[in-house]
Structure 1
Amino acid sequence: MKSAPSSSIEDYVKVIYTFTEWQDRPITSSQLAARLGVANSSVSEMVRKLREQGLVDHRPYGAVRLTEEGRALALTMVRRHRLLETFLVRELGYRWDEVHDEAEQIEHAVSDLFVDRLSAKLGHPVRDPHGDPIPTADGRIERPSAHVLSELDAGHRGRVTRISDDNPELLRYLAAERIVLDADLEVVRRKPFGGPLVVRIGGTGDAREVDVADEIAEAVWVHSDTVHAGCTLAASAHHGG
């Protein structure tokens, strides 16, 4: 009987998956090390174990890609993590900038039965507090049609549909500026000489213009039914899981 994967293996496959979920560049060993906060030598050893267990494809100096088995395990962990984040915000009053590390601690300790019942208790949500899609119990996942704000043209209108949770300080800033999920957004212009992007947030009657720095524009994703010429359809890229 095959033993259950260790928490380290679960962390690795989840990081590999989430790195490529919203863009088409595969992750490298050095990027894995940076994301997990471990030494390159530790990553090399773990990637070797993952390859031996059939969870990743990897050649020396090449990118690390999940196999079908690795992707299935990654989606199981992503489902746990995002349902736990949703529970912490909805039921326990956590802010969206507080839940990532908390969910990281809990996700390895819960069973599939617990996760299924948690999903039912929450009404089977399809996205977490940051807009990331929650996989179903059988591993299906649907990402919204969304485009990273930094690549949108002036005049583009839509709804904020996803915000990266990599930086808690950025999440706190966005909450204070009311740049949150489902907020109406219009790209107004780019200020000259490498200046910030100017966006209009809010609907009729409460709209206001906000200067958006590049780091924020790279973290915010916008949904709309139409895209102006020149925009990059980043969300349609094949993810490397």
Structure 2
Amino acid sequence: MGRGPRGGRGARACRLRPAHRPHGRSAGPPPPRPARRPHPDRAGRARAELCRTIDELPQGGAGVVTRISDADGDMLRWFADLGLGLDARVEVRARREFAGVVTVAWTADDGGPERQADLGLPAARAVWVDVEDAEAGE
């Protein structure tokens, strides 16, 4: 039992090399992983530049929901209760910057009835839409 840290099976050797880091990897947190990668267009280019949050759309602007932030579980459940989900087609009906509210109407991808809600700016920043998909669907 006189093995040193390079002897192989000592407890100290396990403490020096955490199991979650493979050899040759630099220290520090892992790189962030996007919740959903943008789909490439027909030319093979990433379409990330076509995605905007709802708060970035002008009045009358539209898009198809491609991502909803899951950073706030309560907000995510609220979106689910409203029926606002992925692939819904949304349109900004009104912007009230002075009140921090964006009025949005949407139709779910299953063809259900149109719904409308007032979103505060934090909620409007949590929903990403693809503006090209909206233009193609018109």
TM-score (norm 1): 0.37
Kindly name which structure, 1 or 2, has the bigger radius of gyration based on alpha carbons: 2
1:13 corresponding residue in structure 2: 30
Q: Structure 2: how far apart are the matches of 1:146 and 1:215?
A: 17
Contact 2:53 2:127 in 1 (8 A): yes
Instruction: Tell me how many residue pairs correspond in the alignment.
Output: 105
* Structure number with higher relative contact order (C-alpha < 8 Å, ≥ 6 residues apart): 2
Going from structure 1 to structure 2, the CA distance change for 1:185 and 1:5 (only over 3 Å counts) comes to farther
- Structure 2 residue ranges without an equivalent (≥5): 1-16, 39-45
The CA distance in 2 between the partners of 1:220 and 1:151, in whole Å, is 10
**Corresponding position of 2:104:** 199
Within the alignment, does 1:156 sit opposite 2:61 as a pair? yes
Are residues 1:209 and 2:113 paired? no
Higher helix share: 1
The one of 120, 123, 128 aligned to 1:221: 128
Q: Which runs of 5+ in 1 are unaligned?
A: 22-130, 135-141, 228-241
2:37 aligned residue (133, 139, 155): 133
Q: Describe the SS at the equivalent of 1:188.
A: strand
Deviation at 1:224, TM superposition (A): 1.7
- 1:1-241 equivalent positions in 2, closer than 5 A: 6-7=19-20, 12-14=29-31, 17-18=32-33, 132-133=36-37, 142=46, 144=48, 145-191=50-96, 193-202=98-107, 206-225=113-132
**Distance of 2:73 and 2:30 partners within structure 1:** 23
More strand by percentage: 2
CA RMSD of aligned residues (A): 3.3
Q: Which of structure 1's runs of 4+ aligned residues deviate more than 6 A? A: 8-11
